[in-house]
């Protein structure tokens, strides 16, 4: 089996895993209500930003789980999620009238992780 075919097989499994993870995730409307209670009615930009963060958290967590390096990597995972989302989330929240700097977005990411950790009292997402 060539390197490329191995990577394609891994990629297909990763895509299936991410699809499952997104289905497991908290509905965005509930997350927005918890994270941005003052943004009612929910602005599309806030929902998009929240969805982007949650998907990035799930993606990064899945990556670490697949590599067997899941524990003790919270700061690294947070850094990766911020790298993937910070600029877009800042812009989306600004459109909704919410000023967000790096520490604010990091706190939102941590809140998403905490919510996912207690989702149905099962699972472990440690970003």
> What's the per-residue H, E or C state across 37-77?
CCCCCCCHHHHHHHHHHHHHHHHHHHHHHHHCCCCCCHHHH
Global pTM value: 0.67
- For residue 41, the model assigns a pLDDT of 57
Place of tokens 């075919």: 5
- What is the rounded distance in angstroms from the CA atom of residue 125 to the CA atom of residue 77? 10
Whether 46 and 93 have beta carbons less than 8 Å apart is answered as yes
- For residue 62, the model assigns a pLDDT of 83
Q: What is the pLDDT of residues 17-40, one digit of tens each?
A: 655 565 666 666 666 666 666 655
Q: Is the pLDDT of residue 122 over 60?
A: no
- What is the rounded distance in angstroms from the CA atom of residue 46 to the CA atom of residue 37? 11
Please list, in sequence order, all residues whose beta carbon lies within 8 angstroms of the beta carbon of residue 10, skipping any fewer than 6 positions away.
66
- For residue 116, the model assigns a pLDDT of 81
Q: Which residue has the higher pLDDT, 90 or 65?
A: 90
- What is the rounded distance in angstroms from the CA atom of residue 90 to the CA atom of residue 80? 16
Can you give the residue ranges of every domain in the chain? Answer: 3-120
What's the mean pLDDT in 90-111? 91
- For residue 3, the model assigns a pLDDT of 41
- For residue 42, the model assigns a pLDDT of 62
């Amino acid at each position: 089996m060539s390197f490329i075919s191995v990577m394609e097989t891994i990629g297909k499994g990763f895509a299936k895993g991410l699809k499952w993870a997104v289905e497991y995730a908290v509905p965005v409307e509930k997350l927005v209500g918890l994270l941005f209670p003052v943004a009612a009615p929910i602005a599309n930009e806030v929902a998009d930003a929240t969805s982007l963060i949650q998907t990035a958290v799930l993606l990064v967590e899945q990556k670490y789980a697949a590599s067997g390096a899941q524990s003790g990597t919270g700061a690294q995972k947070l850094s990766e999620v911020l790298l993937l989302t910070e600029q877009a989330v800042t812009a989306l929240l600004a459109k909704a009238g919410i000023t967000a700097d790096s520490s604010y977005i990091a706190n939102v990411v941590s809140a998403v992780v905490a919510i996912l950790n207690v989702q149905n009292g099962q699972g472990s997402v440690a970003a």
